Amino acid sequence: MAIDALRNKINSMPNRPGVYLMHNSSGEVLYVGKAKSLKKRLRSYLRHSSFSSPRLRKLTKEVEDISVIRTENEAEAFIVEARLIKLYQPFYNVELKMGEKYPFIKITAEDFPRLIITRHKEDDGSMYFGPYVNVKQLRQLLRIINRYFPIRDCGKIIGDGTPIQSRPCIRYSLGQCPGPCAGLCDRREYQENVADIILLLNGQSSELVSRLRNRMDRAAKNLAFEAAARLRDAIRVIWRFSRQKTSSLFLETSSDELWKPLLRLQTVLQLRTVPWRIEGFDISHHAGKETYGACVVFEQGLPNPSLYRKFSVSQRDAPDDFRAIREVVFRRYKRLKEAQDAFPQLILIDGGKQQLRFAVEALEEAQVEGIDVVALAKKEELLYVPGRDEPLSLHRDDEGLKLLQRVRDEAHRFALAAHTAASRRRFSRSSLEDIPGVGKIIASRLIAKFGSVANIAMATPEEVAQVKGVSILMANKILEALKGAKDGKQEEQV
C-alpha cells in the first residue's frame, strides 16, 4: 500500500482504544500493538524517520497494510493484544513473545491512590490484582468501580489533600472521580472507596456487602434516601457480579478452546484478522406487522448480551426481509461510525446470497469498510461469502460452523423475543390506545381494573363504563373495536 493510501487509512481511524496489526506485502503480521487512541498512535508511525531505534525504522518501511480491532477501553486492548501476539508471534513483538503478559489492576501507594491498568508488577509498595484474561469480567469490574467506588486515575501529585487546582476534571462531572485535586473530598472518605475496591478485587463480596449495608442503614436513618438508594443499587450489582464470576477471571482455563473456532473461521473464510467480535443479524415479523431486527454480539466466541440491540423496522407494503436486513445493518453501522464505537471483525447474516447482497450494500451506503461479512443459510447450512460464486459447505462437526450456528440461533432467539414482547405490549395496551378517544391514562385504568384486553372484551358496556373517564358511549365504542380486532386476528389464523 502506498504511503499516501496508508496515511488516508490512518486519518480515517477513530480516536478510540483498540489494537492494531501491521502487515507486510504478503499479509504476514509484523507487529501487534495497543493504543489508547488508534489514530494518534498510528500517526506517530508516519514520522518513522525520527525514530531513534533502527528496529522501528525497519518495521515502518516493511509495513504495507494495517488492520485494527476496536475495544471498549484500554484494559480490553491489553488482553486482545496479548492474545494476538501469542497467536501470531510477530517478528517485531520481542517482549511479549518472550512471555505472555496479561494486564493487572494496580492500586498505587499514595495518600490518594490511583487505579492503573498495567502489564508489569513492580516492587513499589502498590497493590496488584490479576492478571486478568477475561475481557467481559474485567470490563464489568471496571464499570462497577467507576460507578460506585470512583477514584482518580490521573498522575497529579496531590499529597495531603491540599487543593492543587480550582476546578476538577471532566471525570468529576461524570461521577467517576471524587475530585481530590480540587479538595472536593477528604482523605478518609477517599480511602473508604479504596478499601471497598480492594475487597471487590479480592473477591470478598460478603464483607463488602456487609460494609455497604451498614452504610445504607445509616443513610436511611439520617433521611439521606438518595445515598441509601445508591448503596442499595451497589449491593445488587455486586451480588449479581459475584454469582456470574468464575475462576476464569484470574486463570485461563478454556481460552485455547474458545480460540480454536475463531482461528478456524479466519482460515476457511480468509478473514483479514481473527474475528474477536462477531455480530449476528436476524429479522422477525408476523404477517408483515411489527417487523423487528436483532443484532447480537459474541466476543471471544461467547455472547455478550449487554451489547445486544433491537431495531423496529418500518414496512410500508408487504413484508420484505431483504430490505429489512439492509435497513437494520445500515442503521447499526452508521451509528457505530458516528459514535466511533468498536466494529466487529465479522458480520453474520441469517440467510443466503440475496440477504448477503443487501447487507453489503448497507455497509457501502454507510461508508463502512474493512469488515468481513458472511451469510449462513438454514437447512443446508451453506456459507455465502462476497465475491465468491459458489457457497462454502463445511462439515457439520466443523468448529467454525458450530460457532456461526450459535451466533445465528442466538440472533433468531433475540429477534423473536423482541417481536413477542412488542406483540404482548400491543395487545395489552396499545390496542386500546389505537381506539379514538382512548389515551394512555384511560388505557392504564382499564388494564388496572380488568387485568387484560381479553377480560375487557368479555365485559359488559356497563362494567367498562365504571372506569373513571369512560362514558357508556365510549364503552360501547371500545367493545366494538376490540371485537373487530379479535375477528381480524381469527381471520389471520385461518
pLDDT tens digits for range 121-162: 888 889 998 788 777 778 888 889 999 999 998 888 887 767
What pLDDT sits at residue 488? 40
What pLDDT sits at residue 492? 32
Which is higher by pLDDT, 59 or 418?
59
Q: Which amino acid is at 34?
A: K
Which is higher by pLDDT, 297 or 291?
297
288 in helix, strand or coil?
Answer: coil
What pLDDT sits at residue 399? 93
Q: Are 315 and 284 in contact (CB under 8 A)?
A: no
What pLDDT sits at residue 422? 63
What pLDDT sits at residue 101? 67
Which is higher by pLDDT, 383 or 488?
383
**Whole-angstrom distance, CA of residue 449 vs CA of residue 108:** 59
Q: Which of 350, 358, 324, 356 is nearest to 408 (CA)?
A: 350
pLDDT of 247 strictly over 50 = no
What pLDDT sits at residue 108? 92
- End-to-end, the C-alpha distance of the chain in Å comes to 61
Confidence of residue 435 (pLDDT cuts 50, 70, 90): confident
**Whole-angstrom distance, CA of residue 151 vs CA of residue 178:** 6
pLDDT of 311 strictly over 60 = yes
Alpha helices per DSSP H over 312-383: 321-339, 353-365
The structural domains of the chain, with segments of one domain joined by +, span 3-98, 106-114+122-248, 257-419, 434-493
What pLDDT sits at residue 246? 42
What mean pLDDT comes out for the span 198-215?
88
**Whole-angstrom distance, CA of residue 285 vs CA of residue 129:** 48
Q: Which residues contact 455 (CB under 8 A, 6 or more apart)?
A: none
Confidence of residue 95 (pLDDT cuts 50, 70, 90): low
C-alpha cell at 448: 388496572
C-alpha cell at 236: 445488587
Burial 199-209 (b: 16+ CB within 10 A, else e): bbbeeebeebb
What pLDDT sits at residue 99? 52
What pLDDT sits at residue 489? 40
Confidence of residue 74 (pLDDT cuts 50, 70, 90): confident
70 in helix, strand or coil?
Answer: strand
Peptide bond into 131 cis (omega under 30): yes
Alpha helices per DSSP H over 127-246: 135-148, 170-173, 187-201, 205-221, 225-244
**Whole-angstrom distance, CA of residue 21 vs CA of residue 26:** 14
**Whole-angstrom distance, CA of residue 88 vs CA of residue 108:** 33
What top-level class would CATH report for the domain 3-98?
A: alpha beta
Confidence of residue 85 (pLDDT cuts 50, 70, 90): confident
What pLDDT sits at residue 398? 94
Q: Identify the sign of the CA torsion 466, 469, 471, 474.
A: negative
**Whole-angstrom distance, CA of residue 281 vs CA of residue 292:** 11
What pLDDT sits at residue 318? 61
Q: Are 365 and 230 in contact (CB under 8 A)?
A: no
Q: Which amino acid is at 62?
A: E
pLDDT of 427 strictly over 70 = no
Total Cβ atoms within 10 A of residue 118? 15
**Whole-angstrom distance, CA of residue 19 vs CA of residue 84:** 9
CATH node for 257-419: 3.30.420.340
pTM score of the predicted model: 0.62
292 backbone dihedrals φ, ψ, rounded to 5°: -125, 140
pLDDT of 404 strictly over 70 = yes
Distances in Å between the Cα of 75 and the Cα atoms of 81, 131, 216, 325 are 10, 11, 31, 33
**Whole-angstrom distance, CA of residue 178 vs CA of residue 185:** 6
What mean pLDDT comes out for the span 462-481?
89
In the CATH hierarchy, which fold is given to the domain comprising 434-493?
Answer: DNA polymerase; domain 1 (1.10.150)
Rg of the chain over Cα atoms, rounded to whole angstroms, equals: 28
Type and span of the H or E element at 65: strand 65-70
What mean pLDDT comes out for the span 2-19?
83
Q: Which of 382, 381, 373, 408 is nearest to 303 (CA)?
A: 408
